[in-house]
Amino acid sequence: MGRPASTVAFKTFGCRVNQVDSDALVRRFREQGFAVVPFGAPADAIVINTCTVTHVADRKARGSINRALRDYPDAVVAITGCYTTVQTARLTELFPRAEVFPIVEQDRLVMEIGRIAGEAAPAPTAMNGFGEAARTRPMVKVQEGCDHVCAFCIVPRARGRSRSRPAGEIVVRVRDLVAAGAVEVVVTGVSLGSYRCPDGDDRVGRLVGRILADTAVPRLRISSIEPMDFDRDLLAALGDSRVCPHLHLPLQSGSDRVLAAMRRPYTAAEYRVLVESIKAVSPDVAIGTDVIVGFPGETDDDYRATRELVEAVGFASLHAFPYSRREGTLAALDAARVGAEIRNARLTEILELGEKLEQRYAERFDGTEREIVWEAAADGVVSGLSDNYLRVEATGAPELAGRIGHARIELTGQSRLTAVPVAATTPEGD
C-alpha cells in the first residue's frame, strides 16, 4: 500500500446520480495526477461507489469489495456512496483493509487516497474513455438529497435533505460541456422534481427553459422525476424539439391503498391523468417507470391493480423490484409481510409484462426516422440512442461516434434495433 500510485479504477453501482459523483471524483483524481484505468485492469487504487436501495444492491457492493480486496492485494481500496453513508460502522468492520468514505466525505476521499498511496505520477492527457469530459451524453446534477418521506426508501438518510444548485451555475456548466463536444446533456438529481433555484425558487421546468434559452445544447434529456413533482413549465418544455421525448416517472404501485401506505401523495387515477397530459404534448414520448411488488400488506387485488395500470399506460420500459426491507424506514416496522414465493411470482409476471410492453413500444418505430446520438464504436459496430430512448446499432460507420444525426430504425429481432444513418452532424462549433 505504500508504493507510489499513479492509476485508479472505478466501479459504480446504482443510479445516474452515483455516476455523476464518480465522474466528479474522476476529475479530482486527474487533477492530483492520477490516470484513470478500466476496472479490472492493474491499478494502484480502487474506488467502489455503492448503492443501498435494496438488499440486492448491498450484496452486489459487498461482492465487488471482496473481489477488489482479493484481486488487488497491494492497492488502496476505497468505498463510498449511499451504502457507506447508512452503514459506515458495519462496512468498516466487515472490510478493515478498505477505506470507508460516506458521501459527505467524498471531497476528502481523493486527498486521503493520495496520501495513503503516495505521490502520483503525472497522468497522460488522454481521457481513456472515462469521466464526463469524454462522454457524448454527460450528466449534470442540479439537485442533491430528498425531502420526500416514502415509507420504503432509505435515500433521504443516505443523501440528506434536498439542496439545489443555482440556475446560473448550471447554465455555465452546460455551456462548458457543449463546448467540450457534448451533443446531449442529461439533467439529473436525487429528487429532480424537488429542485428549487436558491436565487429565485424556480422549479425544474423553468430551469429546463433557461438551459434551452441560454445555451446551444443540441439535445437535453430529463432524468427520473416523481409524478407529484411534475410542474406545468416542465410539461410545456416537452414541446421543445431539443427536449428528448423520454421520461422516467416512478409509479411504485397501481393500488391507491398501497400508494397511501407507501406515503406516495397521488392516486392511480392522478398518475394516469398526468401520463395522458404528457402524451398530449409529446405523442411519441417514451415513459419508463419503477414498480415495487410485495410491499407489506399488498393483496392479490392490490397487485392486480398495479398490473392493470401498467398495461393501460403502456410503458416503454419498466423496472420492477421485490420489496426490500430497509432498517430506518417506516415500512420496516410493518409486520404484514408478503411471502417471498408470492413476491417472486408477482415480480416474474410483471417483468414479463414489462418486456412485452417494451417490445410493443419499439415496434411502433420500425421503419421510422429518429434523431440518434451515436456514442461508441467497437468491432465495427457503433451504438446509439434515439431521442425517445431506443438503443440502436449501426455497422461499418465508426466515424459516427460522438455525432448526432437522423437514422431509419429497423427492428431486426425481438431485442435488437438497427439504424441506417440518413444524415449526421457534429455539435455546433465543431
* b (16+ CB within 10 A) / e for 166-195: ebeebbebbbebbeebbbbbbbbbbbbbbb
Mean pLDDT for all residues in the chain: 88
Q: What is the mean pLDDT of residues 9-32?
A: 88
Identify the band that residue 117 occupies on the pLDDT scale cut at 50, 70 and 90: low
pLDDT digits (tens, 9 = 90+) for 21-53: 888 898 888 888 888 888 888 888 999 999 988
pLDDT for the residue numbered 110: 86
Q: What one-letter code names the amino acid at 25? A: L
pLDDT digits (tens, 9 = 90+) for 270-300: 999 999 999 999 999 999 999 999 999 999 9
pLDDT for the residue numbered 414: 63
Give, in order, the Cα–Cα distances in Å from 107 to each of 43, 46, 248: 21, 16, 30
178, pLDDT greater than 50: yes
Neighbouring CB atoms inside 10 A of 93's CB total 10
SS (H, E, C) 260-313: HHHCCCCCHHHHHHHHHHHHHHCCCCEEEEEEEECCCCCCHHHHHHHHHHHHHH
What is the value of pTM for the model shown? Answer: 0.84
Q: Can you tell me the distance from the alpha carbon of 218 to that of 319, in angstroms, rounded to the nearest whole number?
A: 28
27 vs 253, higher pLDDT: 253
150 vs 55, higher pLDDT: 150
Q: What one-letter code names the amino acid at 94? A: L
pLDDT digits (tens, 9 = 90+) for 351-398: 999 999 999 999 999 999 999 999 887 878 888 999 999 999 888 778
In the chain, the domains with their CATH numbers are 7-117 (3.40.50.12160), 132-363 (3.80.30.20), 369-425 (2.40.50.140)
pLDDT digits (tens, 9 = 90+) for 200-243: 879 999 999 999 999 999 999 999 999 999 999 999 999 999 99
Residue with cell 460507420: 397
pLDDT for the residue numbered 330: 87
pLDDT for the residue numbered 332: 86
79, pLDDT greater than 80: yes
Q: What is the mean pLDDT of residues 111-131?
A: 53
pLDDT for the residue numbered 173: 95
In the chain the first and final C-alpha atoms are separated, in Å, by 44
Q: Measured in whole angstroms, how far is the alpha carbon of residue 402 from the centre of its chain?
A: 20
